[in-house]
A and B are shown apart, each in its own frame.
Chain A
Amino acid sequence: MLSHTSLYILDIALMGMGIYALIAKRHIIKKIIGVVIIEYAINLFLILIGYRAEGVAVAPIQDAEIGATELAAKAVDPLPQALVLTSIVIGLGTLALMAALAIKLYEKYKTFDMSEINRLRG
């Protein structure tokens, strides 16, 4: 069972990988993958906020078997999950736009190399 802290460290490492891909890679698709990794690292971070490491967590649904106090003590926090759902949908929108732009850029420049797509400067 991984502790809370090590999960956060792994999540930050994931984000670092995304930033590395975004900065160091010249291929457009690899840059897009980098952006997506950063987004997912943040989404995972949001989920971790509501996570309970003790292995006692239940879904945040109240029924006859579980009382309100017990639910509050055991249930995972549902709000970050709702936020992440919204954030994933937004991420999907950006990803679609990025992919469409990558295709259009390839049609115009005949390359995926960002260092050769450099008409704007100065």
Chain B
Amino acid sequence: MNHILPLMVGIPLGMAVITLILSKIHNRIADISATATTIATAAMSFYLIGTGESTYWMGGWFPPFGITLVFDGLSSLLLIIVNTVALLSVVFSLSYMEKYTAKPKFYSLFLFMLAGMNGVVLTGDLFNMFVFLEIASIASYALVGFGVEHEELEASFKYLILGTVASTMVLLGVALTYAMTGSVNMADVSAMLKSFPATKTMAFAAGAFIMGFALKSGLVPFHAWLPDAHPSAPAPVSAMLSGVLIKAIGVYAMVRVIFDVLGASPVFLEIMLVLGALSMAVGGFLAIGQWNLKRMFAYSSISQMGYVVVALGLGTHLGFIAGLFHLFNHAAFKSLLFLSAGSIEHATGTRDMKELGGLAQRMPVTSTTTAIGALSISGVPPFNGFFSKLLIILACVAAGRWFLAALAAGVGVVTLLYFLKAMRFSLFGELPKALSNIKEVPFPMAFSVIALAVVCLAVGVIFLVDPAFSDIFLQPAAEVLMDGLKSNASSYIASVLGG
């Protein structure tokens, strides 16, 4: 029994309500309590590293009857990503959200979303996963529409409709799984499915799960909502949505269900490869034509998630390491890019690249961090994106998938192309007259982007010189996925039902 696990969900969930109540006394209290909450959850996520696999039985009901929270290498990696990006986004919001009214309500929704994501990452129960998925999703629908202007509302409505269909598909999957096995505990279901012969019902359930989670993670052809919803949200929310939400409730949930519940058969891996390759190519090519800075970043997210899904779908140890490393890196540089785009919008009032230019002269900090983010994501050494993309291409070659390796390398060049376009038209060139008196952003915003830029550079260097990084963060997570490939009883089942 690990008593920190319920706190990872409980603290943000409780503080979401308490923050709103405390803000009636003074608006500033909301700033303090939201920052303190995210510091606490981030600290706990780092404290949990290396504590090994552990479980918590909600209410003392032992599995398979009660809800179980399960902590293993994969959860650990995701918790660190989610809570670190959440902390930096909240620090960024301290200044950025000043221009919106109802800042306490923003923090409240933000903490609900954080609680939902932590819940999805930790839960060991299929129906409970659906509930946390909905908590995170509903909070994110409201956050996308937070500006309550034409575009925000339109994006929020589209996201809401498609997101609800996705959740409903997940619920259908849970219902079919329950009908087959009579259990909703993941380890219990997995143990039973390993002894059953494969049936059509299970294939239908798997289809429903994959469609639901692919919609949530914005993989092509389920991506229609993503380029509308991610740019329309306020910058810290865009950073959370693109940086962690599509990973936690999309890719992570899909991988957890495929590997630890259904059992990773070659059919599922092949589906992941197709979805990933499509997203990688389509997202990349659609990004080139964009003139809206944040919309380009949103298309780039689709493309980069394609890389992650392709690497995980290879089903090899190197592929898992590469995919998880890219997942980690994408969280760092995509939230950096969205926060930097927020800084640019904060200073200039626009995110249209045709109206920008020459920002490097007036905004040295923001320009440097934007450039670092763009270089990382395009795979320029020594930044972190270079190593994960290289590993993904190597993993494709090692698995004998030459076409995918070539596609990954080709899309890498396309990525470099559109990020050069973004840098050329926003950071360099001539400063338009209308922007001649812009100022650098205030300290909290600068702090967040600098912290993320340092992560992008440091992770790249540390990964190269010190294998301990990979041993601590990536290996345990890759072991969990390797375990899912086995056809006999896995250690996931043993650790949940036996512990």
Interface residues, chain A, with chain B CB atoms under 8 Å away: 22, 28, 31, 35, 38-39, 42, 45-46, 49, 79-80, 83, 86-87, 90, 93-94, 97-98, 101-102, 104-105, 108-109, 117-120, 122
- List residues 123-143 of chain B with CB under 8 A from any CB of chain A: 127, 130-131, 134, 138, 141-142
**B-chain residues with CB within 8 Å of residue A118 when the two chains form the complex:** 154
Taken together as a complex, chains A and B put the C-alpha atoms of A28 and B164 apart, in Å, by 15
* B145 and A101 contact, CB distance less than 8 A: yes
Contact assessment for A105 and B157 in the assembled complex, using a CB-CB cutoff below 8 Å: yes
Q: Is the interface of A mostly helix, strand, loop or mixed?
A: helix
User: Contact check: which of B148, B154, B160, B178 meets A98 at CB < 8 Å?
Assistant: B160
Establish whether residues B161 and A22, one from each chain, have CB atoms under 8 Å apart when the complex forms.
yes
What count of chain B residues pass the 8 Å CB interface test?
A: 38
Q: How far is the CB of B195 from chain A (nearest CB, A)?
A: 21
Q: Find chain B residues with CB under 8 A from A102 CB.
A: 157
User: How many angstroms from the CA of A96 to the CA of B333 in the assembled complex?
Assistant: 35
A28 near B138: Cβ-Cβ < 8 Å: no
Whether A105 touches B154, Cβ cut-off 8 Å, given contacts A22-B165, A46-B175, A49-B179, is yes
Q: How far is the CA of A45 from the CA of B161 in the complex (A)?
A: 21
A82 vs B160: C-alpha distance when bound (angstroms):
25
Tell me whether B153 is interfacial, beta carbon within 8 Å: yes
Q: Give bound CA distance, A109 to B150, whole Å.
A: 7
Interface contacts beyond A35-B161, A39-B168, A101-B145: sample of 20 additional A-B pairs, CB < 8 Å, sorted by A: A28-B157, A38-B168, A42-B168, A46-B175, A49-B175, A49-B178, A49-B179, A83-B184, A87-B130, A87-B171, A90-B134, A93-B134, A97-B141, A98-B157, A98-B161, A104-B148, A109-B150, A117-B157, A118-B154, A120-B155
Q: How far is the CA of A108 from the CA of B289 in the complex (A)?
A: 29
Q: Chain B interface secondary structure, helix, strand, loop or mixed?
A: helix
Contacts of A38 in B (CB 8 A): 165, 168
Q: Is B148 within 8 A of A97, CB to CB?
A: no
Bound complex: CA A79 to CA B131 (Å): 15
Q: Does B156 contact A (CB under 8 A)?
A: yes
B146-172 residues at the A interface, CB under 8 angstroms: 148-151, 153-158, 160-161, 164-165, 167-168, 171-172
Complex alpha-carbon distance, A79 and B425, angstroms: 58
Closest-CB distance, B342 to chain A (whole angstroms): 18
Task: Give the chain B neighbours of A104 by CB distance below 8 A.
Answer: 145, 148, 153
Asked if residues A90 and B131 are in contact (CB atoms below 8 Å), the reply is: yes
Chain A residues with CB below 8 A from B242, complex form: none
Instruction: Tell me the bound Cα distance from A87 to B232 in angstroms.
Output: 29
A108 engages B172 (CB within 8 Å): no
Q: Is the CB of A83 within 8 A of B153?
A: no
Q: Which residue of B lies closest to A106 (CB)?
A: B153
CB distance A122 to B295 under 8 Å?
yes
Interface residue? B95 (CB, 8 A)? no
Asked whether, in the complex, the Cβ of B295 is within 8 Å of the Cβ of A101, the reply is no
- Interface assignment of B228: CB less than 8 Å from any CB of chain A: yes
Bound-state CA distance A72–B212 (Å) is: 34
B275-305 to A contact mask, C-beta < 8 Å, 1/0: 0000000000000011010010000000000
Q: Which residues of A contact B168 (CB under 8 A)?
A: 38-39, 42
Q: Tell me the complex Cα distance, A120–B152, Å.
A: 9
Q: Report B-chain residues with C-beta under 8 Å of the C-beta of A79.
A: 178, 184
| Complex alpha-carbon distance, A97 and B164, angstroms | 11
Shortest distance from the beta carbon of A41 to any chain B beta carbon, whole Å: 9
